[in-house]
Amino acid sequence: MRIVVLTGGIGGARFLLGVRAYAREVGAEVTAVVNVGDDLLLHGLKVCPDLDSVMYTLGGGADPERGWGRVGESWTVKQELAAYGAEPSWFGLGDKDIATHLVRTTMLNAGYPLHAVTEALATRWQPGVRLLPATDDRLETHAVVDLDGGQRAIHFQEWWVRHRAAVPTHRFVFVGAETAKPAPGVAEAIAGADVVLIAPSNPVVSIAPILAVPGLRAAVADGPAPVVGVSPIIGGAPVRGMADRCLEVLGVECSAAGVGRLYGGRPAGGLLDGWLVAEEDAGTVVPEVTVRAAPLRMTDEAATVAMVRAALELT
């Protein structure tokens, strides 16, 4: 059995722990197609937050509280950069994390594509699933906001970390999406999947940038595999992060139904065959989608495995 998971962010990384555990039980192969819209160049280093969150989480190196960066981290370089007044100081790179960005940036500068760099980094971490960036090309999420008396596009991380989304926001733009190509293996993995899962990630800034890569939305919507999504919204609120602020920018209701309808039912030209919602949201209706309620709090790996099973039962 081949499972493909569209994923991004911290919730997506946690979900993959359950997918991997389930796959080990049944002998399935897992390919994670990971969002790159959060990626940024910082102090000359290429930082890939969602790829790193998945790699560190599955590799056992993630800080369990923060969800991003390394456990047992130190911040000496960050302090030294601040002593030089080196901006931006609002995005903290830990000392251990910097080693990842140094290796990645060195390999990228040597001409290796991002999927090859990701594979090389994963050799150390052994995540137990195949990690693929959605694209090797530049695709960056920017937010068009009102700042300093005018409208400006700022990088997603500046919106997310510096402003905590607390700035008037008009829309998101996926810079580079028009010319980005699926990374090698992504379209093939989707075409060869027995099931495609959409992780309980932020639908606007984690899943949408994946689907914005030309060809990927169609690969999922028109592909042979059933597609089941897991709601990131429970009882009208995101479990963590700021999906509520992101959905507000799109004018989409912050609910399991709102996100389910945003993805849409496959017969109606959308993506979903199944939509797994929390028990709090039982009774959610998404036109032309089979909806089922189950406990969705990923309190531990066993709880997440149960979610994965419930999602797969929808296929």
Distance of alpha carbon 120 from alpha carbon 128, whole angstroms: 14
Q: What is the three-state SS of 189-203?
A: HHHCCCEEEECCCCH
In whole angstroms, the minimum distance from the beta carbon of 80 to ligand FO1 comes to 16
Q: Which is nearer to ligand FO1, 56 or 263 (CB)?
A: 56
Q: Does 100 bind ligand FO1 (CB under 6 A)?
A: no
Contacts of 106 (CB under 8 A, 6+ apart): none
Q: Does 93 bind ligand FO1 (CB under 6 A)?
A: yes
In whole angstroms, the minimum distance from the beta carbon of 104 to ligand FO1 comes to 11
Q: Pick from 97, 140, 158, 273: which binds ligand FO1 (CB under 6 A)? A: 97
Residue 198 burial (CB < 10 Å; 0-12/13-18/19+)? buried
Q: Does 107 bind ligand FO1 (CB under 6 A)?
A: no
Q: Does 159 bind ligand FO1 (CB under 6 A)?
A: no
Distance of alpha carbon 228 from alpha carbon 225, whole angstroms: 10
Q: Which is nearer to ligand FO1, 108 or 294 (CB)?
A: 108
> What are φ and ψ of residue 143, in 5° steps?
-115, 130
# residues near ligand FO1 by CB under 6 A: 16
Q: Pick from 10, 131, 220, 243: which binds ligand FO1 (CB under 6 A)? A: 10
Tokens of 156: 């997603």
Q: Which is nearer to ligand FO1, 3 or 199 (CB)?
A: 199
Q: Give SS3 for 20.
A: helix
Please list the residues that pair with 70 across neighbouring strands. Answer: 62
Q: Which stretch binds ligand FO1 (CB under 6 A): 26-34, 46-54, 178-186, 218-226?
A: 46-54
Residues of the shown chain interacting with ligand FO1 in the complex, contacts defined by CB under 6 A? 9-10, 38, 47, 49, 52-53, 68-69, 91-93, 97, 157, 160-161
